Amino acid sequence: MKTLNTHKSPVIRCPHCGAEYLPGEIYMPGSIIGQPDEVVRDCLGKIIYEDYYKETREPSMVERFTCEYCDKPFVVEATVTYKSKEEEPEKDFSSKYVSLLD
Ligand SMILES: [Zn+2]
């Protein structure tokens, strides 16, 4: 049991009554990022084909939910962004910590 009101998870509020939900209560696990069945890339790593097991495994950013407190439906739209960057060289200590012993 976590301490009250110290969570840092994003909270989704019912637009009707203000009841709060965590994303994991509204979204099915994996529904936001999807679960690809088959991904085909060309020789340069560019994705040229993608397929999902079922429609439910495709990324779904919009979810319909009925509030458990006021019993009114509302729509939740997730915004997910991904960033990729090269690792910073100074954070890679794997070769700098080799010490030579006499
Ligand atoms: Zn509500």
Of 11, 30, 26, nearest to 75 by C-alpha is 26
Q: Ligand 1 centre from 26 Cα, in Å?
A: 13
Q: Which of 60, 68, 78 lies closest to 16, judged by CA? A: 68
1-16 pLDDT tens trace: 555 666 677 899 999 9
What's this model's pTM, rounded to 2 decimal places? 0.59
- If you measure from the C-alpha of residue 5 to the centroid of ligand 1, how many angstroms do you get, rounded to a whole number? 19
User: What pLDDT sits at residue 56?
Assistant: 57
pLDDT in tens, 22-67: 988 888 777 777 778 889 999 999 999 988 876 656 677 888 999 9
- Residues around ion ligand 1, judged by CB within 5 A, are 14, 16-17, 19, 67, 69-70
